[in-house]
């Protein structure tokens, strides 16, 4: 399986609308059938599409999101929804996230819900698109991130062109280029 390069030195978001959300992977319980849930579900890399979790918002109204490939929840329940946003600041300290999952504010991250942002992608995916094409998350395949290659994290980092049954991220602006990978996308989750 090819890994998606982590976006390094990417352009700053332009005209981005940023909101705070909670990281809450599906099946987050510390134990499931007596087996400890994998810590790798808690990763959310920077520049990664995230989807709304099935959980209700916290007591302050802040929504929960996830980027981890679903296992126990059916694909239709999580991945056929609209994209909730694109992560701006990744979450990599998964031990701390799991340990403090019950503490308000400890699992929060920022996501872009509007504007022009960088999206982690492979060079092969970048070559599929030209300016103005609709970028859709390919929920049929998942990818690792190079920085997280020693983990079991697989996220929604593959993209498709033309399949209007897949969730939209927005329109393609340009590749970021070089070995760092990535593309710049004008966010629009309703295409």
Q: What is the pLDDT of residues 131-178, one digit of tens each?
A: 999 999 987 778 887 776 667 778 888 999 988 888 899 999 999 866
Q: 136: which residues sit within 8 A by CB, 6+ positions away? A: 159, 160, 161, 163, 164, 166, 167, 168, 169
pLDDT at 35: 45
CB atoms within 10 A of CB 175: 16
Walking along the chain (191 residues) 10 residues at a time, the average pLDDT comes out as 66 83 66 53 84 74 75 50 85 71 75 93 89 91 74 84 89 81 91 85
- CA–CA dist 18, 114 (Å, integer): 7
Q: 27 is written with which tokens?
A: 């099946």
């Amino acid at each position: 399986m090819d890994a998606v390069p982590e976006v390094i030195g990417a352009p700053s978001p332009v005209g981005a609308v940023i909101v705070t959300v909670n990281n809450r992977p599906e099946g987050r319980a510390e134990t499931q059938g007596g087996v400890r849930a994998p810590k790798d579900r808690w990763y959310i890399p920077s520049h990664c599409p995230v989807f709304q979790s099935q959980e209700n918002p916290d007591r302050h109204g802040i929504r929960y999101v996830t980027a981890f490939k679903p296992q126990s929840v059916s694909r239709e329940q999580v991945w056929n929804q609209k994209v909730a946003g694109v992560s701006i600041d990744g979450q990599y300290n998964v031990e701390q996230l799991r340990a403090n999952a019950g503490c308000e504010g400890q699992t929060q991250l920022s996501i872009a819900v509007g504007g022009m942002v960088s999206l982690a992608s492979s060079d092969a995916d970048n070559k599929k698109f030209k300016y103005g094409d609709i970028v859709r998350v390919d929920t049929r395949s998942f990818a690792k991130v190079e920085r997280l290659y020693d983990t079991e994290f697989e996220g929604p980092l593959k993209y498709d062109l033309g399949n209007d049954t897949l969730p939209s991220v927005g329109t393609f602006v340009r590749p970021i280029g070089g070995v760092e990978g990535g593309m710049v996308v004008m966010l629009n989750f309703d295409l």
